[in-house]
Amino acid sequence: MYSSRSAILGLMALVSTWAVTTPSFSEEKCIPRDGFLPLEEGEQFAGLFRIPLELADRHDPLAARTHFLFADAWAQAISEAIFPETRDLCGAIILPEGFPDLRAFMIVHRTTSQIDREKVVCANALYDLLNDFDPDDDQIKRAVAWSAWLEHPKLPGNGAPAVDPAEDAANIAQAALPIIYKEGSILHALASVRVGKPTPIDAPDLRNWIRNQRMLSNLLPEEIPHCLPPHADLASSSDIPQERLESDILPAGEISLSRAGSGPLPPGPLHHIVMVGDPVEPPTLAAHSEVEAKYCGRQHTFSIAGESPHPVSITVKPQCESQGVHDLDMWNLIYCDPKDCSPEPVEKAVIAAIASDPEILEFARRSSSTATRRGPYFISIK
């Protein structure tokens, strides 16, 4: 199950591009919800489901962290178990979106032209596993390892000396978020889960947590639309998750990170990026953000100081990536590809100019429901 789905899971960072270029979605004007993923040839979509879970204390960062780790491990164990349980008919990719709940993307692998019946079979199998399946020690070990691989910073592959710029920007944001969110907040706890060494999970503790969920929760998967409702302006939105409202952030400014030693950042090509909130809700990695749609991939001319006493103009196309925190928050990462911004002093000057761009400052102001702007943060990597 894991090996057959690894390609799709590896494409999750590219879903925003896929969502725009897939004809059926552009025709339906569908913005897919987090957790809705591409299908491989021959597969059928069998539904997107919310799995309701109970969080012991919504105001306790440690409880939130523990809940996330246990829920994620359980999700991966069920994702592995459903394939053999249904004799290779059904697949599930279960993600910790909609925290504290889970979100299950269900797949029919080999339809016999009875797709409606097969969808019911898959939904029933998911229900049975949620209510009856207790993973053994080996299954828990595999689930924890797989979950950690998905969440931790991506390392260079195929002999490459560094990850590509888009992956590097995501790695940088993952390391920066625990600094941006103030310690003691729920989002700080969630953003910190995958920074540093993987947190070990004791199998008996996980099984005890599962039993508690079965006592506290109605573990009946609820099918939800895979298309998001139209985005609203954040300033007038009443749908901001409570965890975000209660998680303070640092004032806009500079953040310094290091790739040296055993820090959280693997090798990468970028030296500087900008992080800024997005003015729309709900957050989703599956749709182009307003910042990306209106700012990135377009030519911008910046005036920067050169070696001469007179400013120099440079025209570049800034690039964007998005970094979400479990469907509770979303940030835009803006960077300049080193092919366009080299050497490093040029990159630094361009990113500094982006951080002070009035349009970026307006995005930051509009993305906040309080007096504290959500960025921009000028992030430097040593």
Strand partners, 102: 51
**What pTM did the predictor assign?**
0.77
Lowest mean pLDDT among 79-83, 181-185, 216-220, 340-344: 216-220
β-strands 330-335, 272-277 pairing: antiparallel
**Has residue 11 got a pLDDT over 80?**
no
**Has residue 116 got a pLDDT over 60?**
yes
Q: Tell me the average pLDDT across 51-67.
A: 86
Q: Which two three-digit tokens encode residue 39?
A: 């299908």
The confidence score (pLDDT) of residue 17 equals 28
**Has residue 16 got a pLDDT over 50?**
no
CA distance 78 to 134: 9
CA distance 120 to 191: 36
Q: What share of the chain is helix, strand, coil (3-state, %, to 5)?
A: 40, 20, 40
The confidence score (pLDDT) of residue 336 equals 94
CA distance 37 to 45: 9
Contact of 88 with 151, CB cutoff 8 Å: no
CB count in 10 Å sphere of residue 61: 19
The confidence score (pLDDT) of residue 238 equals 57
Closest residue by Cα to residue 328 from 282, 364, 372: 282
Q: Which residue has the higher pLDDT, 20 or 375?
A: 375
Lowest mean pLDDT among 85-99, 159-173, 281-295: 281-295
Q: Which residue has the higher pLDDT, 10 or 293?
A: 293
Contact of 307 with 346, CB cutoff 8 Å: no
The confidence score (pLDDT) of residue 124 equals 92
pLDDT tens for 189-225 read 888 876 666 677 888 999 999 999 998 877 889 998 8
Q: Tell me the average pLDDT across 176-194.
A: 87
CA distance 2 to 83: 10
Q: What is the 3-state secondary structure (H, E, C) of 172-237?
A: HHHHHHHHHECCCCHHHHHHHCCCCCCCCCCHHHHHHHHHHHHHHCCCCCEEECCECCCCEEHHHC
Name all domains of the chain by residue range, CATH numbers in brackets. 2-152+198-224 (3.30.830), 232-381 (no CATH)
35 sits in the region (left: phi over 0; alpha: psi -120 to 50; else beta) called left
**Has residue 376 got a pLDDT over 90?**
yes
CA distance 148 to 153: 9
Residues in the chain: 382
pLDDT tens for 225-273 read 888 776 554 444 556 777 777 788 989 999 999 887 666 678 889 999 9
CB count in 10 Å sphere of residue 80: 19
The confidence score (pLDDT) of residue 308 equals 57
- Per DSSP, the three-state class of 123 is helix
Q: Which residue has the higher pLDDT, 211 or 59?
A: 211
